[in-house]
Amino acid sequence: MTGSLVIAGLGPGDDALVTPEVTAALARATDIVGYIPYVARIPERPGLTLHPSDNRVELDRSRHALEMASAGQHVVVVSSGDPGVFAMASAVFEAIEAGPKEWRSLDIRVLPGITAMLAAAARAGAPLGHDFCAINLSNNLKPWALIEQRLRLAVQADFAMAFYNPRSKSRPEGFVRTLEVLKQACGDNRPVIFARNVARPDEQIRVVPLQDTHADMADMRTMVIVGSSQTRIIDTGNAPIVYTPRSAS
């Protein structure tokens, strides 16, 4: 019996933003593996077993999925957004590299999804219209000194920046320091987009000048996008359009 493993992105929250390719993989699956709130998005049906697990057990979750696929199951590991952007794809491949050699011969596919960064950018306009970078502000798997170095270098390179995991209850000071670094390093008052629960019914989009930002504007459900020095705002009389021109001097 030949099993398979799919690592799939469920998009930012709206079911309409799940790709047809991912929908087909979910329909074929015998087992769904993932973080509790992401697995909760999958409807129960006969022949499907759901395996929700807590946060910060990514490698255990990956090994479990690989073991089931090796036993002949058709397993889908789900992430929100895109599985290759600060999500489960890397964890699965870490487990494969360190695990039994037979795992390397499994039928494994990564199916992309719409990540929160892109959904938030689309809601605001086109703030990522020129060069940009994405930074995970969590220091669970890397030291804060490295995050701060990358922030300063991104400002120096004049990238627009998209921040994942900006502020949690266990590490509220990280985003405080992030804003301090940006306000010190940027020589302008560029726009900052706070997109909370993007693509969900309670979505909130705010555009705030950098110097007016404060840490409690973000939490773990917020995608933060900071414009470059070239980023512009078009006043429409309603929600502003934020975009970064395609060219730079």
pTM for the predicted model, two decimal places: 0.92
Amino acid in the structure at residue 33? V
pLDDT the model gives residue 173: 87
| 86 and 128 share one domain | no
**Above 70 in pLDDT, residue 175?**
yes
pLDDT of 67 > 90? The answer is yes
For 76-122, write each residue's pLDDT tens digit: 999 999 999 999 999 999 999 999 999 999 999 999 999 999 999 99
Report pLDDT digits (tens) over 75-85.
999 999 999 99
Look up the CATH number of the domain holding residue 123: 3.30.950.10
SS3 for the chain is CCCEEEEEECECCCHHHCCHHHHHHHHHCCEEEEEHHHHCCCCCCCCCEEEEECCCCHHHHHHHHHHHHHCCCEEEEEECECCCCCCHHHHHHHHHHHCCHHHHHCEEEEECCCCHHHHHHHHHEECCCCCEEEEECCCCCCCHHHHHHHHHHHHHCCCEEEEECCCCCCCCHHHHHHHHHHHHHCCCCCEEEEEECCCCCCCEEEEEEHHHCCHHHCCCCEEEEECCCCCEEECCCCCCEEECCCCCC
| Whether residue 162 is found in the same domain as residue 174 | yes
Looking at residues 186-201, what average pLDDT do you find? 93
Binned at pLDDT 50, 70 and 90, residue 1 comes out as: low
How many domains is the chain built from? 2
Q: CATH no. for residue 103?
A: 3.40.1010.10
Identify whether residues 158 and 128 lie together within a single domain: yes
Boundary of a domain, candidates 83, 114, 145:
114
Q: What is the CA radius of gyration of the chain?
A: 20
Which of 114, 134, 149 corresponds to the end of one domain?
114
Query: What mean pLDDT do residues 192-214 have?
Result: 95
Instruction: Indicate if 62 and 171 belong to the same structural domain.
Output: no
Cα(21)–Cα(134) distance, integer angstroms: 25
pLDDT at 170 over 80: no
Considering 74, 94, 114, which residue would you say is the last residue of a domain?
A: 114
pLDDT tens-digit series, residues 3-29: 999 999 999 989 999 999 999 999 999
For 127-166, what is each residue's pLDDT tens digit? 999 999 999 999 989 999 999 999 999 999 999 999 999 9
Residues 194 and 205 in one domain: yes
Q: Do residues 11 and 103 both lie within one domain? A: yes
**130 in a domain, yes or no?**
yes
Residues 6+ apart with CB under 8 A from 60: 53
**Burial (CB count within 10 angstroms: exposed 0-12, middle 13-18, buried 19+), residue 8:** buried
Q: Are residue 37 and residue 94 in the same domain, yes or no?
A: yes
Indicate if 130 and 30 belong to the same structural domain.
no
Q: Is 249 among the domain residues? A: no
Express each pLDDT in 205-245 by its tens digit.
Answer: 999 999 999 999 999 899 999 999 999 999 998 889 999 99
Residue 19 lies in a domain: yes
Residue span of the structural domain in which 108 resides:
4-114
